[in-house]
């Protein structure tokens, strides 16, 4: 890409960053061509201010202008928006693939969580989300880790090893819907499950944090106390989280 192309792309992104200019594009998209005096009434600003916004769109080649007598008439030129569309489509496909991956995993696990727990905290959604996504805070109530809130990031939780367990949990971030939910795989001791955290703001100024863990093998489910042991472990961790949030 040549320098001029790069500058033009930058102008386009800058031009549509302003909500007033996005509204101008919408208005022009619904009309073949409009003079300034017909555009101005749509905004709580004067003709001069509207004219300046149109000039920025014109510099980005998103709007064309032509003189008709003493007035200037403006028309939308949507061609430069194709790059924006391509950029958005890339990330749309990225998210669709991530959610499809989670959907496939859950379908393989019959969509029914093996462990479902609800915890309530007298705090804010933002603080709970931070506790789920900040590596340092996670270390305070789960275990030490190298977590990053990035879809596809592979990380580990590292607990104190014992004679029957190496203390390592291998994980991969599957989905992030800030600040509502996050999910990742949870692989340890030959077992791979999926952990989904969901945050809900309650009416009484509290926050409900739901844990769903799915995918335990039939052999694990058959072992007496295996699922109850997982519930006990998460509940103990949630007690630590409650102290941190308080």
The DSSP string of 114-161 is SEEEEEEESS-HHHHHHHHH-HHHHHHHS-EE---S-TT-EEEEE---
Contacts of 140 (CB under 8 A, 6+ apart): 240, 244
Q: What is the pTM of this model?
A: 0.57
Question: What pLDDT score does 82 carry?
Answer: 81
Residue 67: in which H helix or E strand, if any? Answer: strand 63-68
Question: What pLDDT score does 6 carry?
Answer: 42
CATH of domain 3-79: 1.10.10.10
CATH 3.30.530.20 residue spans of the chain: 89-245
Question: What pLDDT score does 8 carry?
Answer: 47
Can you say how many angstroms the Cα of residue 88 is from the centroid of all Cα atoms in its chain?
14
Question: What pLDDT score does 109 carry?
Answer: 54
Distance CA 141, CA 236 (A): 9
Contacts of 46 (CB under 8 A, 6+ apart): 40
CATH 3.30.530.20 fits 89-245, yes or no: yes
Q: How many C-beta neighbours within 10 Å does residue 146 have?
A: 13
Question: What pLDDT score does 112 carry?
Answer: 73
Question: What pLDDT score does 87 carry?
Answer: 74
Residue ranges in the chain whose pLDDT is less than 70: 1-10, 103-111, 223-224
42-57: per-residue pLDDT in tens? 998 998 999 999 999 9
CATH 1.10.10.10 residue spans of the chain: 3-79
Distance CA 92, CA 27 (A): 26
Question: What pLDDT score does 17 carry?
Answer: 85
User: Residue 156 pairs with which residues in a beta bridge?
Assistant: 170
């Amino acid at each position: 890409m040549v320098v001029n192309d790069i500058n033009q792309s930058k102008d386009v992104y800058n031009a549509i960053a302003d909500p007033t200019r996005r509204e101008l594009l919408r208005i022009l998209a619904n009309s073949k061509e409009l003079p300034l005096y017909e555009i101005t009434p749509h905004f709580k600003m004067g003709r001069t201010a509207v004219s300046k916004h149109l000039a920025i769109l014109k510099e980005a080649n998103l709007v064309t202008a032509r003189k008709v007598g003493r007035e200037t008439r403006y028309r939308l030129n949507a061609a430069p928006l194709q790059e924006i569309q391509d950029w958005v489509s890339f990330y749309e496909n990225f998210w669709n693939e991530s959610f499809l991956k989670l959907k496939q995993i859950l379908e393989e696990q019959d969509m029914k969580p093996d462990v479902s727990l609800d915890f309530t905290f007298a705090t804010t959604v933002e603080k709970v989300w931070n506790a789920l996504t900040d590596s340092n805070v996670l270390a305070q109530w789960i275990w030490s880790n190298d977590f990053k809130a990035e879809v596809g990031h592979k990380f580990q939780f590292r607990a104190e090893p014992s004679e029957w367990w190496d203390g390592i949990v291998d994980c991969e971030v599957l989905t992030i819907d800030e600040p509502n939910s996050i999910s990742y795989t949870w692989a340890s001791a030959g077992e791979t499950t999926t952990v989904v955290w969901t945050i809900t703001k309650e009416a009484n100024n509290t926050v409900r944090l739901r844990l769903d863990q799915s995918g335990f093998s039939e052999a694990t489910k058959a072992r007496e106390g295996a699922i109850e042991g997982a519930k006990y472990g998460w509940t103990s961790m949630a007690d630590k989280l409650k102290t941190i949030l308080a």
